[in-house]
Structure 1
């Protein structure tokens, strides 16, 4: 297949509805697009070229392996060794800690000149542009995806969501709907992560909403039946762009009507 070039990505981004000044949460899979000439760097440069200096780009940079082994994130380690992980997993450092399964674009983006990263040890985001510091500041341990979290702040800005080669199971903004919705099985959980406090590494416990994304693809497909979602092909994959508020508001109602 012909390599995907930067000018093609820029054209696709504009044709799918991204404009100068937009604040946008981006979820990307390079492998589903095909061979991109320049890889992750080209994707990021194209996004910056389109939204410009007045725009804001946000990407999830989660390091969810910095959670307790009992949650299943260290499935490749026998339970007898879980206490060793709890004692020695490196404390989160937003300048160093790598992403986990967020993709090559997000991994490069977290270190991009001018990008800043939030302080949540397991569920961070990185942002670049006009509202980057607003989006990433004060990312509370107990408010991963709520109204004052990065996705909640994007909602307040009237931002967009851009899916590049991925489905709705990667669409972090639906977690905001999960926070807002009321349903019988909704519950909190106690998480643990390694963090730095007063210059020392500690295994920190914190209470937060149980993260549930099992039905996100179903939610997304139902959303597309009732709302306009701009779509365009790029390489082997597809770009989808939508208003985040529309998605979240729809998802709240869907969750309340369908989750038990």
Structure 2
């Protein structure tokens, strides 16, 4: 979409002051710890792009507030590299750089904002290569430090800490199915048929590059088979979020040209766990999955 079309979509440029004013009207407040997801094109023409959005959100939460994003790792080795010819595998194992929280690019599929935020001076990125997050603000280390290697969406993950700290989630023009926090609900839910994945990626441990195996819920194809309970053509997280909104959880407002949502993290997790268990049945049965883990 070109600039003129974006301008018409949002009735003029979307500015730092305008974003701050509109997210405040939505309910974002000084001192908030907020994880945000953004579809910038939905907002309209943003004067200054991703940096303007980050500046505006920093203005909204103030010096006592903290921003958080999901990053992942854009240049991670393919999940199925262990199916390659042996010589190819050997070359990759010998030469693939280890994940570096300071320099490895955030997954491009997550948009421009995670990469922009993780590069901000003072930003802290978690150590997990595939499920990494980044945060900026006084709670950054409390959210990011010692991200568990295994079950990185589960207990003591950055998502769990966001919830425990009374954090919030802002969808800034992003669709409802982008609620990454619902992966934490999946990790906690005790429902039959939970699917897990195992994969290898190189990381640095005590100054040494090592290949490590990781174990996680299947966040690519779904930790559960939702097809019996979700209408055809609808994403599971979208269906869950719509039910959550209908139940009175979350706020809806306008920022630029976009319909935006603000949720309490605790509400998202509690409602998500209950929704999964009530829809799919309660039980702890699980199954292994041969698929490689997907990026959140």
Q: Is the pair's TM-score, using the shorter chain for normalization, greater than 0.5?
A: yes
Is 1:180–2:188 an aligned residue pair? yes
Determine the structure 1 residue equivalent to 2:145: 137
Q: CA deviation at 1:197?
A: 3.1
**Alpha-carbon distance in structure 2 between the residues aligned to 1:259 and 1:202:** 39
- Is the contact made by 1:162 and 1:242 (CA closer than 8 Å) also made in structure 2? yes
**Alpha-carbon distance in structure 2 between the residues aligned to 1:256 and 1:194:** 35
**Alpha-carbon distance in structure 2 between the residues aligned to 1:82 and 1:219:** 42
Determine the structure 2 residue equivalent to 1:74: none
**For 1:42-191, what aligned pairs fall within 5 Å after superposition?**
42-63=52-73, 66=76, 68-70=78-80, 83=89, 84-100=91-107, 101-191=109-199
From 254, 270, 278, the equivalent of 1:233 is 254
Determine the structure 1 residue equivalent to 2:211: 203
Deviates more, 1:84-93 or 1:230-239: 84-93
Q: Tell me: CA distance 1:79–1:222, structure 2 relative to 1, closer, same or farther (3 Å).
A: farther
Deviates more, 1:82-91 or 1:186-195: 82-91
**Alpha-carbon distance in structure 2 between the residues aligned to 1:82 and 1:230:** 50
- Is the contact made by 1:68 and 1:192 (CA closer than 8 Å) also made in structure 2? no
- Is the contact made by 1:29 and 1:164 (CA closer than 8 Å) also made in structure 2? yes
- After superposition, the C-alpha distances for 1:27-68 in whole angstroms (9 at most, x for unaligned) are 112122121001111101111111111111111111165254
Q: CA deviation at 1:85?
A: 4.3
Unpaired segments of 5 or more residues in structure 2? 1-7, 224-234, 282-296
From 37, 42, 60, the equivalent of 2:47 is 37
- After superposition, the C-alpha distances for 1:156-206 in whole angstroms (9 at most, x for unaligned) are 111111001112221111111101111111133212112123434332112
Which secondary structure does the structure 1 equivalent of 2:64 belong to?
coil
- Is the contact made by 2:75 and 2:105 (CA closer than 8 Å) also made in structure 1? no
**Alpha-carbon distance in structure 2 between the residues aligned to 1:171 and 1:86:** 34
Determine the structure 2 residue equivalent to 1:24: 34
TM-score norm. by structure 2 comes to 0.80
- Is the contact made by 1:16 and 1:241 (CA closer than 8 Å) also made in structure 2? yes
**Alpha-carbon distance in structure 1 between the residues aligned to 2:119 and 2:272:** 32
Q: CA deviation at 1:207?
A: 2.1
Which secondary structure does the structure 2 equivalent of 1:187 belong to?
strand
- Is the contact made by 2:244 and 2:271 (CA closer than 8 Å) also made in structure 1? yes
Q: CA deviation at 1:87?
A: 4.7
- Is the contact made by 1:161 and 1:242 (CA closer than 8 Å) also made in structure 2? yes
**Alpha-carbon distance in structure 1 between the residues aligned to 2:151 and 2:76:** 16
Q: Tell me: CA distance 1:259–1:48, structure 2 relative to 1, closer, same or farther (3 Å).
A: same
Deviates more, 1:203-212 or 1:181-190: 203-212
Aligned residues: CA RMSD: 2.2
Structure index of larger Rg: 2
